[in-house]
A and B are shown apart, each in its own frame.
Chain A
Amino acid sequence: MTTDFTPWASLAGGVMIGLSAVLLLAWEGRIAGISGIASRLLPPYQDRSFGSRAGFVLGLVLAPLLYLAVTGHEVVQSVSSNLLLMGVAGLVVGFGSVWGNGCTSGHGVCGLARLSSRSLVATLTFMATAIATVFLIRHMGA
């Protein structure tokens, strides 16, 4: 299934994401890494920032409703209905992102913006295995 190439919308969305990351650093001095924020909503707790993290995650969850209210457009989406596949994918994403100290946002956006070589290695690694996984499924019949 093809999807439309949307450079301007994607660039605008990216700038919004970057702006959110900048403002989070300005406000609380933290990196906007979603795997770190979400995983620290779960015990064990190391600091007193639970309220901040809960607020951020709630904002993420409510964002499509804000988008609908402002634009009047439903969010278009196509998610696999293979629940076993999606469950396994979720488990792997959750484990791998915390094990590697970050995901697309923490390493791919914030880490690269900090010119972190660790984040560059992480980003190249998850891009490579993600591309390889899609290749195996779509073109090798895995």
Chain B
Amino acid sequence: MNFLVNLGLGLLFGTGLVVAGMADPAKVLNFLDLFGTWDPSLAFVMGGAAVTAFVGYRLVLRRKAPLASPTFHLPTATAIDARILIGPAIFGVGWGLGGFCPGPALTAITLGAPGTLAFVPAMLAGMFAARLIGTGAYRPGKPSFAR
């Protein structure tokens, strides 16, 4: 059941990425190219998504628990430490190089571009490395950070 619900939510999320134009790295790179062929479209993607989530999260969090789990699994970290600067700084460089962040890269797999098929396995290897080094999201004995 969880599998099927998540399949539906992944389809909704992925279709949103496609409709929004985010599955196209050219559009993403143009969004990031403020001083060249700037395409501000992606500000509307992030704005639309964040505002929708802002309103919806408030409605959902009025409940004591989610429908299919005994508790909410929200991130608990609040410290502005080195990792919250270094990780995103590294991520941003890769985003600017390839025009893919993780969601659109996964969504683009079935479109079969060679660049995508080079990007995704390397991305998974990078994720695995970060978790193994242990400075990433995985910390034994701590609550799961469901990002």
Contact = CB atoms under 8 A, between A and B. Distances in A.
Interface string A118-142: 1001110111111111110111000
A24 B138 CA distance: 21
Contacts of A11: 44-45, 47-48
Majority SS at the chain B contact face: helix
Interface of A: 1-7, 9-40, 42, 44, 46-47, 49, 51-67, 75-118, 121-123, 125-135, 137-139
Contacts, number: 537
A contacts with B: majority SS: helix
Contacts of B2: 27-28, 49, 51-52, 55
Contact of A27 (B39, B52, B68, B106): B68
Interface residues of B, number: 124
Interface of B: 2-27, 29-30, 32-37, 39-42, 44-54, 56-57, 59-61, 63, 65-69, 71-75, 77-80, 83-103, 105-111, 113-116, 118-131, 135-138, 140, 144-147
